[in-house]
Amino acid sequence: MTDPEASNAALQPADPAEDSWRGSVPDASATDLENLLGTGVGAAQEQLERNGGFLPFALVVENDGEVRLVAVTPADAAGGTDADFDADGMIADLTELLRQHRDEFRAAAIVCDITLLEEDSDAIHVAAEHRDGSVFAAVLPYGGNPETNALEFGELSADTNEPTVWVD
pLDDT in tens, 128-152: 999 999 999 999 999 988 888 889 9
pLDDT at 4: 41
Residue of higher predicted confidence among 84 and 122 = 122
pTM of the shown model:
0.82
Q: Name the residue among 18, 31, 84 with its Cα closest to residue 61.
A: 31
Q: 106: left (phi > 0), else alpha (psi -120 to 50), else beta?
A: alpha
Nearest to 33 by CA among 126, 141, 149, 117: 126
Mean pLDDT of 32-39: 95
pLDDT value, residue 11:
45
- The amino acid at residue 82 is D
Q: What is the pLDDT of residue 79?
A: 53
Q: What is the pLDDT of residues 92-131, one digit of tens each?
A: 999 999 999 999 999 999 999 999 988 888 999 999 999 9
Surface-to-core class of residue 31, CB atoms within 10 Å of its CB (0-12 exposed, 13-18 middle, 19+ buried):
middle
